[in-house]
């Protein structure tokens, strides 16, 4: 309001109109007053906010190469359904020996890490499948360093296997192939490796660079080799990160945990997360009081079994560490950690950034909220435009349809009246007519009905078939029928509630029959109803 008044007065002062209609003038004035402003799609709206009160966290400069250190790889498991992704994840989790003592603890919390006897660590994202991976990628997060492609040796390459290969290629993430279910007597490891060649995945055996490890996720066979393959590849990739910069990370998932509140699984991508750090993700923030790395099944060994409730988040909770005084002081690169104390749920894929002060958090959240609001206003306007465009397109389509159907109908009429050429004149008069859409369960029944309809020669009431086909009655059938003031004849096919509703709204009659002669009875009725009433 201030800005408007100010702009008005200046305009008035210059002898212009007192009413400001030019958004540019408003914007200029706003800038003068120290606001950042933006025109929202609709030119009557300008959003503005004062610069100094909100500001996002500044991106930090890239790290100095001299500070970089080796970091563990982050691995995602992909593959066709039922090829053993979940079993493999569970097996890998359980290679942390202690877990087995507590019995299958397999709660999925987004990520976990495995420490090998060699001292190497691997972080696994534990949401198997494509949804998670695509979701992350869509949000610009390329967290995954290596993909383990699980292929069942008794099934070979299947559609989702190929899809995974394509995912890996387009994301430029290297693959390791775990040829699973080698314990089965139907397993064909060799054949499976051969099949990979078709998709340009060349196993080492054939001179390529893709490691293939035959495993049995179920029996736990060769899991060690699989992990070693991951480490070998990671060393080759020379994965490095900056342990000293401000903390940056990614939210893998967030959830509510009784007693701990809003908890997020975060993977550290830069810096070292310490107690007392302030974090911001999306429009949420947290102060890190308790930190626990999620490979904790190993750490938990120190704890009495009796209090464990077979719940990983409980195992990794503050209680355990504070009791023993062994709570983690910091979390390093690539570690999946559980961070408690979020004010709102951060979303999976959100970037996590470290803030220097509560004030900086407040400013950044103000900024992000106002951006969100602007986006919402934009999308509202976009939604309106989209609706309008859709409406226009629909109208155009209907028009075209009407024209094309008109031609088709004309052809049909010409065809059916051929034997009665003498009567052609009569036919083209604007007499009573009935147009129908015929839908049936199988080709056979449609053919039978069409054959009978072909014998219909009466010109008292013309009959046109606008459309016929196999399948249930669709919305478009109703639209077609409506255009010609027609009726629907459904033979042995279901009519959904939505379609029925649509028909009712458009005054389109649907006849449903499952006996052919009844269909014809109804048809004759409908034809008769089109005739003018006798005086
Ligand atoms: P996902 O859909 O890829 O997660 O597959 P699952 O892990 O759910 O496994 C599908 C089925 O294959 C389950 O019945 C598993 O027990 C079985 N399975 C998984 N790995 C192996 C294996 O190494 N050997 C055998 N024989 N069966 C397995």
What's residue 168's pLDDT? 87
Contact 41, 381 (CB under 8 A): yes
In percent, the amount of the chain with pLDDT more than 70 equals: 67
- With both helix axes pointing from N to C terminus, report the angle between 85-94 and 223-237 in degrees, rounded to the nearest 10: 90
pLDDT in tens, 232-278: 999 999 999 999 999 999 988 888 877 778 888 888 999 998 888 89
507 Cα: distance to centroid of ligand 1 (angstroms)? 54
Q: Could you tell me if the CB of 121 is within 6 A of ligand 1?
A: no
pLDDT in tens, 15-39: 444 455 566 666 666 666 666 666 6
Name which residue leads in pLDDT, 278 or 460.
278
Q: Is-above-0.90 flag for pTM?
A: no
Q: Could you tell me if the CB of 271 is within 6 A of ligand 1?
A: no
What's residue 48's pLDDT? 62
Strands across the sheet with 175-180, in order?
Answer: 111-115, 121-125, 74-79, 146-152, 175-180, 212-214
- Non-local (6+) Cβ contacts of 438 within 8 A are 446, 449, 450, 465, 467, 468, 469, 489, 491
CA-proximal residue: ligand 1, atom 6 (nearest): 84
Q: Backbone phi, then psi, for 294, in 5-degree steps?
A: -90, 60
Name which residue leads in pLDDT, 202 or 288.
202
- 97, with CB counted inside 10 A (0-12, 13-18, 19+), is exposed
Q: Which atom of ligand 1 is the closest one to the Cα of 90? A: 7
pLDDT in tens, 314-340: 333 332 222 222 356 778 899 888 888
Query: Is residue 484 predicted with pLDDT exceeding 90?
Result: no
Contact 289, 311 (CB under 8 A): no
What's residue 233's pLDDT? 96
Q: Could you tell me if the CB of 38 is within 6 A of ligand 1?
A: no
Contact 478, 508 (CB under 8 A): yes
Name which residue leads in pLDDT, 235 or 381.
235
Tell the residue number behind the tokens 């974090």, with chain if given.
Answer: 279
What's residue 500's pLDDT? 94
469/38 Cα distance (integer angstroms)? 53
Q: Which atom of ligand 1 is the closest one to the Cα of 87? A: 7
Q: Could you tell me if the CB of 216 is within 6 A of ligand 1?
A: yes
Q: Could you tell me if the CB of 154 is within 6 A of ligand 1?
A: no
pLDDT band at 296 (very low <50, low <70, confident <90, very high): very low
Q: Could you tell me if the CB of 282 is within 6 A of ligand 1?
A: no
31/50 Cα distance (integer angstroms)? 9
Question: Mean pLDDT for the chain?
Answer: 76
Q: Could you tell me if the CB of 82 is within 6 A of ligand 1?
A: yes
Residue 114 bridge partners (DSSP): 122
Is the alpha carbon torsion for 50, 56, 57, 61 positive or negative?
negative
456/413 Cα distance (integer angstroms)? 12
Name which residue leads in pLDDT, 412 or 61.
61
CA-proximal residue: ligand 1, atom 17 (nearest): 84
Which of these ranges, 186-195, 215-224, 280-289, 502-511, has the smallest mean pLDDT?
A: 280-289
Query: Is residue 305 predicted with pLDDT exceeding 50?
Result: no
CA-proximal residue: ligand 1, atom 22 (nearest): 181
Composition of the chain by helix, strand, coil, percent to 5: 40, 25, 35
What's residue 224's pLDDT? 93
Q: Could you tell me if the CB of 214 is within 6 A of ligand 1?
A: no
Which of these ranges, 42-51, 146-155, 430-439, has the smallest mean pLDDT?
A: 42-51
Which of these ranges, 100-104, 113-117, 379-383, has the smallest mean pLDDT?
A: 100-104
- 375, with CB counted inside 10 A (0-12, 13-18, 19+), is exposed
Of 82, 84, 180, 187, the one to substitute when testing ligand 1's pocket (max ligand atoms within 8 A of C-beta) is 84
pLDDT band at 149 (very low <50, low <70, confident <90, very high): very high
Query: Is residue 297 predicted with pLDDT exceeding 50?
Result: no
Name which residue leads in pLDDT, 130 or 341.
341
Average pLDDT over residues 362-370: 84
152 Cα: distance to centroid of ligand 1 (angstroms)? 8
What's residue 113's pLDDT? 82
Q: Could you tell me if the CB of 113 is within 6 A of ligand 1?
A: no
What's residue 104's pLDDT? 39
367/24 Cα distance (integer angstroms)? 23
What's residue 319's pLDDT? 25
Q: Strands (DSSP E) along 367-504, which ranges?
A: 433-440, 462-470, 487-491
Query: Is residue 428 predicted with pLDDT exceeding 50?
Result: no
Average pLDDT over residues 479-488: 90
């Amino acid at each position: 309001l201030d800005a408007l008044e100010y702009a008005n007065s200046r305009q008035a002062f210059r002898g212009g109109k007192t009413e400001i209609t030019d958004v540019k003038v408003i914007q200029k004035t706003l800038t003068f007053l120290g606001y950042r402003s933006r025109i929202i799609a609709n030119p009557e709206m300008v959003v503005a906010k004062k610069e100094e009160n909100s500001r996002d966290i500044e991106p930090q400069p890239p790290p100095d190469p001299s500070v970089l250190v080796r970091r563990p790889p982050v691995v995602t498991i992909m593959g066709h359904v039922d090829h053993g992704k979940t079993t493999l994840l569970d097996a890998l989790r359980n290679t942390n020996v202690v877990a087995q003592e507590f019995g299958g603890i397999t709660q999925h919390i987004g990520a976990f890490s495995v420490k090998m006897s060699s001292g190497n660590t691997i972080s696994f994202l534990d949401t198997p499948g494509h949804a998670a991976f695509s979701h992350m990628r869509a949000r610009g997060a390329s967290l995954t360093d290596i993909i383990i492609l699980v292929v069942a040796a008794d099934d070979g390459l299947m559609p989702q296997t190929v899809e995974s290969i394509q995912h890996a290629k387009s994301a430029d993430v290297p693959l390791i192939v775990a040829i699973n279910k080698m314990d089965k007597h139907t397993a064909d490891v060799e054949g499976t490796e051969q099949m990979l060649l078709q998709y340009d995945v060349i196993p080492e055996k054939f001179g390529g660079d893709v490691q293939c490890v035959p495993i049995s996720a179920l029996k736990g066979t060769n899991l060690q080799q699989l992990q070693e393959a991951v480490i070998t590849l990671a060393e080759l990739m020379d994965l490095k990160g900056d342990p000293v910069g401000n903390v940056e990370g990614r939210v893998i998932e967030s959830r509510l945990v009784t007693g701990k509140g809003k908890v997020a699984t975060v993977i550290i991508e830069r810096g070292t997360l310490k107690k007392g750090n302030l974090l911001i993700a999306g429009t949420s923030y947290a102060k890190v009081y308790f930190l626990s790395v999620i490979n904790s099944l190993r750490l938990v060994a120190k704890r009495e079994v009796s209090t464990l409730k077979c719940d990983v988040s409980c195992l990794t909770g503050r209680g355990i560490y504070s009791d023993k005084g062994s709570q983690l002081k910091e979390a390093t690169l690539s570690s999946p950690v559980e961070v408690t104390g979020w004010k709102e749920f951060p979303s999976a894929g959100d970037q996590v950034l470290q803030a220097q002060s509560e004030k900086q958090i407040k400013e950044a959240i103000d900024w992000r909220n106002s951006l969100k609001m602007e986006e919402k206003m934009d999308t509202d306007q976009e939604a309106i435009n989209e609706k309008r465009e859709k409406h226009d397109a629909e109208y155009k389509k209907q028009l075209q349809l009407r024209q094309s159907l008109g031609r088709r109908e004309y052809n049909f009429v010409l065809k059916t009246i051929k034997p009665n050429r003498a009567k052609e004149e009569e036919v083209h008069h604007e007499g009573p007519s009935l147009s129908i859409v015929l839908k049936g369960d199988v080709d056979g029944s449609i053919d039978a009905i069409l054959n009978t309809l072909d014998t219909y020669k009466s010109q008292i009431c013309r009959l046109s078939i606008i459309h016929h086909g196999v399948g249930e009655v669709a919305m478009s059938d109703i639209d077609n029928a409506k255009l010609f003031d027609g009726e629907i004849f459904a033979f042995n096919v279901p009519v959904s509630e939505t379609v029925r509703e649509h028909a009712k709204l458009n005054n389109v009659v649907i006849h449903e029959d499952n006996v052919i002669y009844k269909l014809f009875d109804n048809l004759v009725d409908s034809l008769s109803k089109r005739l003018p009433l006798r005086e």
